[in-house]
Each structure stands twice: as C-alpha cells, then as structure tokens.
Amino acid sequence: MAEIKDSVKVHGMWASPWVRRVTIALKIKGIPYEYFEEDLKNKSQKLLQYNPAKKLVPVLVHDGRPIAESLIILEYIDEIWKNSPNLFPNLPYQRAIVRFWAGFIDLQIFEKLRDVVKARNDQDEEKIIKEIQENVKKLEANVKELYSGITHTNGETMQILDILMVTLLPIINGVEEAMSVKFINPENFPLAFSWMKSGEGVPAVQDTVPNHEKLVSFLRKLRQHIRNL
Ligand SMILES: N[C@@H](CCC(=O)N[C@@H](CS)C(=O)NCC(=O)O)C(=O)O
C-alpha cells in the first residue's frame, strides 16, 4: 500500500480510456488517490498548468508534481510503488516487447478508434475502419506470445498490456454502436477478444467502466458535431 504521506491526484474525464488505464493501475496497486473530473470544453487552470504542452487528461499529480501521458504515468506508477502487481515484466527484453505492443495498441488501435469517430465523411471513415481491422489482425497474430490466456479475478495478475486490452472492449462496443456499424467481429479475432474480456470480473475494472449508453450518446454527439462542422 502507498504510504500515508503520498498525495496522489488524477485529472481525468469519465469517458476516456486513457484515464481509465491510470485509475485501474492505481486501484490494483492499492494506491489511494483523489479524482478531479475535467470539463474538456472548459479545462481547469490546474490542468492547463500541469500539462501545458498537450492540455490532455490524464494527468497524475504525485506530491504536487504533475506527470502526463498515460503510458508514461503507468511506468512512473510502477517505478514509484514497487508493491505487487508489477505492471511491467522484470527482464529488459520482455519489457521492451511490452513497451512495443503498448505503443502499437495505443497508437494503432485506440487512437484510430477516436479518429474513426471524428472522421469528416464516409470515405475517411471507411479508410480508417480498414486500418483498424488491419491493426487488430496484426495484434491477433501476436496474442499467443503476449497473453497467457488467464482470466483475471483480481488485479494481482494484471500487467500493462492486460490493462490496455480490457479497456479496449467498452470503447470498441461504444464506437460501433455510435456509428451503427460492426467492424471488429469477435469471430475474426477470437484471441484478442478473449484477452479483452479477461479482466471483466476484476473489481478495479468494473469500478471504472463507463456506462455504455452514456458513452454511446457521447460518441454519437461527437461524431455528429464533427460532421456538421
Ligand atoms: N496520448 C495521450 C492521450 C490522452 C487523450 O487523448 N486525452 C483526451 C481525453 S480522451 C483529452 O484530454 N482531450 C482533450 C482535448 O483534446 O482537448 C495519453 O496517453 O495520455
């Protein structure tokens, strides 16, 4: 457990899977934190001060010092609070592989799921859907090397790639329903889907999952707004 002296704050936004990575990591390591919900249309002075370069959530503020970018925050959390579970493997080669795939899943899947919602027209949308499908296919081909097949019952067995994968599923479901199109079928990617579902029973995952209807309505409005610009 974190020592009492630690002050840990998270600036976040309820729908953000990037924020959720951080709150799940804190919860499974048993680190108490204060949460500040940001209105991203009217960001707090603190957020602008903490992340002036990007002005994005999540920001973790540890004893008054801000850290931005979810993957960097996860590494920081693991280095500062060394109690189990360790979010990264110990061996340098394994750590490198995990960093590679964390980056791949982040940029080639999560970011593109945001891009597809923000596509300006059907043509752009179709192009991005194809890219996402190609990227999930590449991930599927590597799942056996990356995921032991375990079903997580608590946070103790979860590492960083597990956290990313379990936070992907609600976003895929939300984006597909908001767009009324199913483009990542479980039948085509059975291994990736079983990994995405592997943490559904973990309390830290359940506690942080965004409400599906609220998420769909949020994404629908965002999509409509972009298309009306
Ligand atoms: N690469 C960043 C992405 C974070 C991100 O995109 N945050 C969004 C919320 S989901 C945000 O703060 N958006 C505010 C804006 O775009 O102005 C990370 O990993 O932390």
Does any ligand 1 atom lie closer than 6 A to the CB of residue 171? no
Is the CB of residue 219 less than 8 Å from the CB of residue 114? no
Both structure tokens of 152: 């997580």
178 close to ligand 1 (CB < 6 Angstrom): no
| Centroid of ligand 1 to alpha carbon of 148 (angstroms) | 30
Structure confidence at residue 198 as a pLDDT band (50, 70, 90): very high
Task: Please give the CATH number for the structural domain made up of 92-228.
Answer: 1.20.1050.10
Listed by start position, the domains of the chain span 8-80, 92-228
Whether residue 99 is predicted with pLDDT greater than 70 in this model: the reply is yes
**What is the distance between the alpha carbons of residues 68 and 88, in angstroms, rounded to a whole number?**
19
> Could you read off the pLDDT of 23-71 as tens digits, one per residue?
999 999 999 999 999 999 999 999 999 999 999 999 999 999 999 999 9
Whole-number Å distance, alpha carbon 71 to ligand 1 midpoint, is 12
Is residue 3's pLDDT more than 80? no
Is 40 a pocket residue for ligand 1 (Cβ < 6 Å)? yes
- Tell me which residue has its CA closest to atom 15 in ligand 1: 56
Task: Determine whether the shortest distance from the Cβ of 67 to ligand 1 is under 6 A.
Answer: no
* Confidence check: pLDDT of 2 > 70: no
Query: What pLDDT is stored for residue 1 in this prediction?
Result: 53
Percent of the chain's residues with pLDDT above 70: 98
Please tell me the distance between residue 2's alpha carbon and the centre of ligand 1 in angstroms.
27
Nearest to 165 by CA among 186, 188, 139, 185: 139
- 169: CB partners within 8 A, 6+ apart: 193, 196, 197, 200
User: What mean pLDDT do residues 206-214 have?
Assistant: 98
Q: What is the DSSP letter of 65?
A: E
Among protein residues, the one whose CA lies closest to atom 10 of ligand 1: 16
Single-letter amino acid code for the residue at 132: I
pLDDT at 5: 66
Is the predicted pLDDT of residue 174 greater than 70, yes or no?
yes
What's the confidence (pLDDT) of residue 141? Answer: 98
212: phi > 0 → left, psi -120 to 50 → alpha, else beta; which?
Answer: alpha
What is the pLDDT averaged over residues 77-106?
Answer: 97
Give CA–CA dist 184/24, Å, rounded. 25
Query: How far is it, in rounded angstroms, from Cα 113 to Cα 78?
Result: 27
* pLDDT band at residue 6 under the 50/70/90 scheme: confident
**Which residue minimizes the CA distance to atom 16 of ligand 1?**
56
Choose the residue to mutate in 41, 44, 57 for probing ligand 1, maximizing ligand atoms within 8 Å of C-beta: 57
CATH of 8-80, one of 3.40.1190.20, 3.40.50.1370, 3.40.30.10, 3.40.50.12780: 3.40.30.10
What is the 117 CA–ligand 1 centroid distance (Å)? 14
Residue 167 has pLDDT above 70, yes or no: yes
| 169, pLDDT greater than 90 | yes
**pLDDT at residue number 119:** 97
Kindly report the average pLDDT of the chain as a whole number: 96
**Residue 148: what pLDDT?**
92
Nearest to 117 by CA among 172, 69, 164: 172
- The pLDDT of residue 86 is above 70: yes
Tell whether the model's pLDDT for residue 78 goes beyond 80: yes
Nearest to 6 by CA among 38, 36, 30, 41: 30
Distance 18 CA to ligand 1 centre (A): 7
Q: Is 57 in the pocket of ligand 1 (CB under 6 A)?
A: yes
